[in-house]
Amino acid sequence: MMEISHDLLVYVAKTHGLFYLVGFSILTLIYCYWPSNKKRFDKAAKSVLNDEDGPCL
């Protein structure tokens, strides 16, 4: 079994951890600014203003 040493954790955090953070941030931004998502987001933002009628049956 590979030993989980202090040095190994530092190495993972400083390399893969960094790329994970940057990659994840880029993916989130792509999702947010993907042009075809805009309509859906606008609709969702407005839809909460009128939702008291009851569930859709």
Partner 1 sequence: MVLNLTRSERQGAMIVAVLLSLVGLVMTLFGADGYFSTHGFIIMLAGMGTVFLVGRGYDAPEPSDERLAHYYDDPVKAGVILAMFWAVFAMFVGDWVAWLLAYPDMTFDAAWASFGRLRPVHTTGVIFGFGGNALIATSFYVMQRTCRARLPDQLSPWFVILGYNLFCILSVSGYFMGITQSKEYAEAEWYADIWLVVVWVVYFLLYLRTLQRRNEPHIYVANWYYLAFIVVVAMLHIVNNLALPVSWFGAKSYTIYSGVQDAMIQWWYGHNAVAFFLTSGFLGMMYYFLPKRANRPIFSYRLSIISFWGITFSYIWVGSHHLHYTALPHWVQTLGVTFSIILLVPSWASAGNALLTLNGAWDKVRDDATLRFMMVAAVFYGLTTFEGSFMAIRPVNSLSHYTDWTVAHVHAGTLGWVSMISYGAFYAMVPWIWKQKKMFSPRLVEVHFWLSVAGTFIYVFAMWNSGIIQGLMWRTYNDVGTLSYSFIDSMVAMHPYYIARAFGGFLFLLGACVGLYNIWKTMKVRTPAMVSDPSRPLPVAGVAAGSVEAGE
Binding site for partner 1 (CB under 8 A): 6, 10, 13, 21, 24-25, 28-29, 31-33, 40-57
Q: CB of 1: closest distance to partner 1 in angstroms? A: 19
Q: How far is the CB of 21 from partner 1 (least distance, A)?
A: 7
Residue type, 16: H
DSSP 17: H
Handedness of CA 18, 24, 27, 29 (dihedral sign): negative
Least distance to partner 1, CB of residue 12, Å: 12
Rg (CA), the chain: 21
